[in-house]
Amino acid sequence: MRQIVLDTETTGLSAEDGDRIIEIGCVELLGRKLTGNNRHFYLNPERDSHEDALKVHGISNEFLRDKPLFASVADELLEYLAGAEIIIHNAAFDVAFLDMELQRLGKPAFMGHVGSVTDTLAMAKEMYPGKRNSLDALCDRLGVDNSARTLHGALLDAELLADVYINLTRGQEALLIDIAAGGDATGGIAARVDLTAFTLPVLLASEQETAAHEEVLTQLDKASGGKTLWRTRPADDALAAAGPSTGTVPLPVA
Protein backbone atom coordinates (compact mmCIF):
# COMPACT_ATOMS: atom_id res chain seq x y z
CA MET A 1 0.00 0.00 0.00
CA ARG A 2 1.26 3.48 -0.89
CA GLN A 3 1.42 5.84 2.08
CA ILE A 4 2.48 9.48 2.18
CA VAL A 5 3.56 11.12 5.43
CA LEU A 6 2.72 14.82 5.13
CA ASP A 7 3.42 17.93 7.17
CA THR A 8 2.88 21.64 6.63
CA GLU A 9 4.14 24.89 8.12
CA THR A 10 1.88 27.93 8.11
CA THR A 11 1.80 31.66 8.76
CA GLY A 12 -0.39 31.13 11.82
CA LEU A 13 -2.98 28.90 13.42
CA SER A 14 -6.22 29.75 11.62
CA ALA A 15 -6.91 28.93 7.97
CA GLU A 16 -10.38 30.48 8.33
CA ASP A 17 -8.83 33.80 9.41
CA GLY A 18 -6.59 33.96 6.36
CA ASP A 19 -3.43 32.20 7.47
CA ARG A 20 -1.68 30.35 4.64
CA ILE A 21 0.65 27.42 4.01
CA ILE A 22 4.33 28.32 3.61
CA GLU A 23 5.89 24.83 3.44
CA ILE A 24 4.79 21.30 2.55
CA GLY A 25 6.88 18.18 3.12
CA CYS A 26 5.91 14.70 1.91
CA VAL A 27 7.65 11.35 2.48
CA GLU A 28 6.60 8.22 0.58
CA LEU A 29 6.32 4.74 2.09
CA LEU A 30 5.78 1.57 0.07
CA GLY A 31 5.28 -1.63 2.04
CA ARG A 32 6.24 0.38 5.17
CA LYS A 33 9.63 1.20 3.64
CA LEU A 34 10.98 4.66 2.78
CA THR A 35 11.36 5.01 -1.00
CA GLY A 36 13.12 8.38 -1.23
CA ASN A 37 10.37 9.58 -3.61
CA ASN A 38 9.61 12.66 -1.53
CA ARG A 39 8.23 16.13 -2.28
CA HIS A 40 9.13 19.44 -0.66
CA PHE A 41 7.75 22.90 -1.43
CA TYR A 42 8.36 26.35 0.01
CA LEU A 43 5.45 28.64 -0.86
CA ASN A 44 4.82 32.36 -1.01
CA PRO A 45 1.79 32.85 1.26
CA GLU A 46 1.15 36.40 0.01
CA ARG A 47 1.15 37.59 3.61
CA ASP A 48 3.54 37.75 6.56
CA SER A 49 3.80 35.09 9.24
CA HIS A 50 2.68 35.87 12.75
CA GLU A 51 5.47 36.52 15.23
CA ASP A 52 4.66 33.39 17.22
CA ALA A 53 4.69 31.27 14.04
CA LEU A 54 8.11 32.65 13.12
CA LYS A 55 9.43 31.44 16.47
CA VAL A 56 8.19 27.92 15.64
CA HIS A 57 9.39 27.46 12.06
CA GLY A 58 12.01 30.21 11.66
CA ILE A 59 11.18 30.76 7.97
CA SER A 60 11.44 34.48 7.33
CA ASN A 61 8.98 36.47 5.27
CA GLU A 62 11.84 37.68 3.07
CA PHE A 63 12.88 34.09 2.26
CA LEU A 64 9.40 33.30 0.95
CA ARG A 65 8.98 36.39 -1.26
CA ASP A 66 10.27 34.71 -4.46
CA LYS A 67 8.83 31.24 -3.79
CA PRO A 68 5.99 29.85 -5.94
CA LEU A 69 2.34 30.29 -5.04
CA PHE A 70 0.32 27.27 -3.95
CA ALA A 71 -1.61 27.51 -7.20
CA SER A 72 1.54 26.77 -9.22
CA VAL A 73 2.34 23.52 -7.35
CA ALA A 74 -1.20 22.31 -6.62
CA ASP A 75 -1.51 19.99 -9.64
CA GLU A 76 1.92 18.41 -9.02
CA LEU A 77 1.10 17.91 -5.33
CA LEU A 78 -2.34 16.39 -5.98
CA GLU A 79 -0.97 14.05 -8.65
CA TYR A 80 1.70 12.88 -6.20
CA LEU A 81 -0.83 12.32 -3.39
CA ALA A 82 -3.56 10.77 -5.56
CA GLY A 83 -5.14 7.65 -4.04
CA ALA A 84 -2.58 7.26 -1.25
CA GLU A 85 -3.15 6.90 2.48
CA ILE A 86 -2.00 10.22 3.94
CA ILE A 87 -0.44 10.11 7.39
CA ILE A 88 -0.50 13.40 9.34
CA HIS A 89 0.09 14.35 12.97
CA ASN A 90 -2.95 16.37 14.09
CA ALA A 91 -4.54 15.88 10.67
CA ALA A 92 -7.45 18.29 11.24
CA PHE A 93 -5.03 21.24 11.31
CA ASP A 94 -3.16 20.44 8.07
CA VAL A 95 -6.27 19.30 6.19
CA ALA A 96 -8.09 22.53 7.09
CA PHE A 97 -5.28 24.57 5.53
CA LEU A 98 -5.09 22.35 2.45
CA ASP A 99 -8.87 22.52 2.03
CA MET A 100 -8.76 26.31 2.15
CA GLU A 101 -5.97 26.51 -0.42
CA LEU A 102 -7.86 24.14 -2.73
CA GLN A 103 -11.08 26.09 -2.23
CA ARG A 104 -9.35 29.25 -3.44
CA LEU A 105 -8.52 27.39 -6.66
CA GLY A 106 -12.03 26.02 -7.10
CA LYS A 107 -10.84 22.45 -6.55
CA PRO A 108 -12.51 19.68 -4.50
CA ALA A 109 -11.59 19.33 -0.83
CA PHE A 110 -8.46 17.43 0.10
CA MET A 111 -10.24 14.14 0.89
CA GLY A 112 -11.53 14.06 -2.67
CA HIS A 113 -8.00 13.56 -3.99
CA VAL A 114 -6.55 10.95 -1.61
CA GLY A 115 -7.42 7.44 -0.49
CA SER A 116 -7.68 8.15 3.24
CA VAL A 117 -6.15 10.19 6.05
CA THR A 118 -4.61 8.64 9.18
CA ASP A 119 -4.08 10.90 12.20
CA THR A 120 -1.08 9.78 14.26
CA LEU A 121 -2.06 12.15 17.07
CA ALA A 122 -5.36 10.30 17.48
CA MET A 123 -3.48 6.98 17.36
CA ALA A 124 -1.01 8.14 20.02
CA LYS A 125 -3.76 9.45 22.33
CA GLU A 126 -5.43 6.04 22.19
CA MET A 127 -2.17 4.20 22.85
CA TYR A 128 -0.82 6.61 25.49
CA PRO A 129 -3.84 8.23 27.20
CA GLY A 130 -3.04 11.06 29.54
CA LYS A 131 0.53 11.48 28.23
CA ARG A 132 2.13 14.14 26.06
CA ASN A 133 1.78 13.08 22.43
CA SER A 134 3.49 15.85 20.50
CA LEU A 135 5.89 14.77 17.77
CA ASP A 136 8.89 15.48 20.01
CA ALA A 137 7.34 13.52 22.90
CA LEU A 138 6.65 10.53 20.64
CA CYS A 139 10.19 10.65 19.24
CA ASP A 140 11.56 10.48 22.79
CA ARG A 141 9.14 7.71 23.81
CA LEU A 142 9.74 5.57 20.72
CA GLY A 143 13.48 6.06 20.38
CA VAL A 144 13.39 8.19 17.20
CA ASP A 145 16.38 10.54 16.92
CA ASN A 146 15.08 14.11 16.67
CA SER A 147 18.30 15.86 17.67
CA ALA A 148 18.35 17.77 14.35
CA ARG A 149 14.94 19.32 15.08
CA THR A 150 15.76 22.69 16.61
CA LEU A 151 12.91 24.35 14.65
CA HIS A 152 9.85 22.91 12.94
CA GLY A 153 10.35 22.10 9.26
CA ALA A 154 7.80 20.31 7.08
CA LEU A 155 10.14 17.83 5.39
CA LEU A 156 12.16 17.02 8.52
CA ASP A 157 8.98 16.63 10.54
CA ALA A 158 7.49 14.34 7.88
CA GLU A 159 10.63 12.19 7.98
CA LEU A 160 10.48 11.98 11.78
CA LEU A 161 6.76 11.22 11.68
CA ALA A 162 7.40 8.37 9.23
CA ASP A 163 9.71 6.76 11.81
CA VAL A 164 7.20 7.44 14.59
CA TYR A 165 4.37 5.89 12.56
CA ILE A 166 6.39 2.74 11.84
CA ASN A 167 7.08 2.39 15.57
CA LEU A 168 3.46 3.11 16.53
CA THR A 169 2.27 0.35 14.20
CA ARG A 170 5.10 -2.10 14.85
CA GLY A 171 2.60 -4.75 15.93
CA GLN A 172 1.19 -4.83 12.39
CA GLU A 173 4.36 -6.36 10.98
CA ALA A 174 4.11 -9.99 9.92
CA LEU A 175 6.61 -12.60 11.09
CA LEU A 176 7.03 -13.79 7.51
CA ILE A 177 8.57 -11.76 4.69
CA ASP A 178 5.89 -9.64 3.00
CA ILE A 179 5.20 -11.07 -0.45
CA ALA A 180 2.26 -9.92 -2.56
CA ALA A 181 0.40 -12.37 -4.77
CA GLY A 182 2.29 -11.24 -7.84
CA GLY A 183 5.70 -11.60 -6.24
CA ASP A 184 5.95 -7.87 -5.48
CA ALA A 185 7.57 -7.37 -2.09
CA THR A 186 5.99 -3.92 -1.67
CA GLY A 187 2.42 -5.10 -1.23
CA GLY A 188 2.50 -5.18 2.56
CA ILE A 189 0.48 -8.44 2.71
CA ALA A 190 2.09 -11.62 3.99
CA ALA A 191 1.43 -14.55 1.65
CA ARG A 192 0.39 -17.91 3.08
CA VAL A 193 3.26 -20.36 3.06
CA ASP A 194 2.79 -24.13 3.08
CA LEU A 195 5.02 -25.23 5.95
CA THR A 196 4.53 -28.96 5.39
CA ALA A 197 7.64 -28.97 3.25
CA PHE A 198 9.73 -28.04 6.30
CA THR A 199 10.82 -30.44 9.04
CA LEU A 200 12.59 -29.92 12.30
CA PRO A 201 14.94 -32.45 13.91
CA VAL A 202 13.95 -33.89 17.28
CA LEU A 203 16.55 -32.98 19.89
CA LEU A 204 16.38 -35.58 22.66
CA ALA A 205 16.87 -34.52 26.25
CA SER A 206 20.18 -35.38 27.88
CA GLU A 207 20.34 -37.62 30.97
CA GLN A 208 20.85 -34.56 33.16
CA GLU A 209 17.84 -32.78 31.61
CA THR A 210 15.71 -35.91 31.97
CA ALA A 211 16.64 -36.19 35.63
CA ALA A 212 15.83 -32.53 36.22
CA HIS A 213 12.47 -33.01 34.51
CA GLU A 214 11.69 -36.02 36.68
CA GLU A 215 12.47 -33.97 39.78
CA VAL A 216 10.01 -31.28 38.67
CA LEU A 217 7.31 -33.90 38.05
CA THR A 218 7.94 -35.40 41.49
CA GLN A 219 7.41 -32.00 43.08
CA LEU A 220 4.21 -31.52 41.04
CA ASP A 221 3.05 -34.97 42.18
CA LYS A 222 3.39 -33.90 45.78
CA ALA A 223 1.64 -30.58 45.19
CA SER A 224 -1.26 -32.10 43.23
CA GLY A 225 -1.80 -35.22 45.33
CA GLY A 226 -0.58 -37.58 42.60
CA LYS A 227 -2.66 -36.04 39.80
CA THR A 228 0.17 -34.86 37.54
CA LEU A 229 -1.05 -35.17 33.94
CA TRP A 230 2.27 -36.41 32.65
CA ARG A 231 2.25 -39.23 35.19
CA THR A 232 -1.30 -40.38 34.45
CA ARG A 233 -1.07 -40.28 30.62
CA PRO A 234 -0.01 -43.60 29.00
CA ALA A 235 3.59 -43.59 27.80
CA ASP A 236 2.60 -44.62 24.26
CA ASP A 237 0.32 -41.60 23.94
CA ALA A 238 3.11 -39.29 25.06
CA LEU A 239 5.47 -40.76 22.46
CA ALA A 240 2.88 -40.47 19.73
CA ALA A 241 2.33 -36.81 20.59
CA ALA A 242 6.04 -36.15 20.05
CA GLY A 243 5.78 -36.99 16.32
CA PRO A 244 6.74 -39.83 13.97
CA SER A 245 9.78 -41.97 14.64
CA THR A 246 11.66 -40.64 11.62
CA GLY A 247 13.40 -38.08 13.83
CA THR A 248 11.44 -35.16 12.37
CA VAL A 249 8.32 -33.28 13.34
CA PRO A 250 6.11 -31.92 10.55
CA LEU A 251 5.12 -28.29 10.94
CA PRO A 252 1.42 -27.39 10.58
CA VAL A 253 0.12 -25.70 7.45
CA ALA A 254 0.06 -21.91 7.84
Q: What pLDDT is recorded for position 220?
A: 77
Percent of the chain at pLDDT > 90 equals 62
Residues in the chain: 254
Q: What pLDDT is recorded for position 171?
A: 55
**How many helices, marked H, and strands, marked E, lie in the chain?**
10, 8
Please, are residues 101 and 77 in contact by the beta-carbon 8 Å criterion? no
Q: What pLDDT is recorded for position 235?
A: 54
* CB contact set of 152 (below 8 Å; sequence gap of 6+): 9, 56, 57, 58
Q: Give the DSSP H/E element, type plus range, for residue 62.
A: helix 61-64
Look at residue 162 and tell me whether its pLDDT is greater than 60: yes
Residue 43 or 232, more confident: 43
Taken in order of first residue, the domains within the chain and their CATH numbers are 2-172 (3.30.420.10), 199-250 (no CATH)
Work out the average pLDDT over 91-120. 98
Q: What pLDDT is recorded for position 202?
A: 72
Residues in a beta bridge with 27: 5
Q: What pLDDT is recorded for position 95?
A: 98
Where does the pLDDT of residue 249 fall: very low under 50, low under 70, confident under 90, or very high at 90 and above?
A: very low
SS (H, E, C) the chain: CEEEEEEEEECCCCCCCCCCEEEEEEEEEECCEECCCCEEEECCCCCCCCHHHHHHHCCCHHHHCCCCCHHHHHHHHHHHHCCCEEEECCHHHHHHHHHHHHHHCCCCCHHHCCCEEEEHHHHHHHHCCCCCCCHHHHHHHHCCCCCCCCCCCHHHHHHHHHHHHHHHCHHHCCCCCCCCCCCCCCCCCCCCCCHHHCEEECCCCCHHHHHHHHHHHHHHHHHHCCCCHHHHCCHHHHHHHCCCCCCEEECCCC
Q: What pLDDT digit, counting tens, does each position of 45-69 carry?
A: 999 999 999 998 999 999 999 999 9
Work out the average pLDDT over 207-228. 80
Average pLDDT for the chain: 83
Out of 71-75, 84-88, 198-202, least confident range: 198-202
Q: Give the DSSP H/E element, type plus range, for residue 250.
A: strand 248-250
| Catalytic annotation, pick one of 57, 89, 113, 152 | 152
Write phi, then psi, for 232 (nearest 5 degrees). -85, -20
Residue 181 or 151, more confident: 151
Residue 191 or 91, more confident: 91
Look at residue 241 and tell me whether its pLDDT is greater than 70: no
Where does the pLDDT of residue 179 fall: very low under 50, low under 70, confident under 90, or very high at 90 and above?
A: very low
Q: Is 152 a catalytic residue?
A: yes
Q: What pLDDT is recorded for position 85?
A: 97
Look at residue 204 and tell me whether its pLDDT is greater than 90: no
Rounded to the nearest 5 percent, the helix, strand and coil shares of the chain are: 40, 15, 45
Q: What pLDDT is recorded for position 148?
A: 76
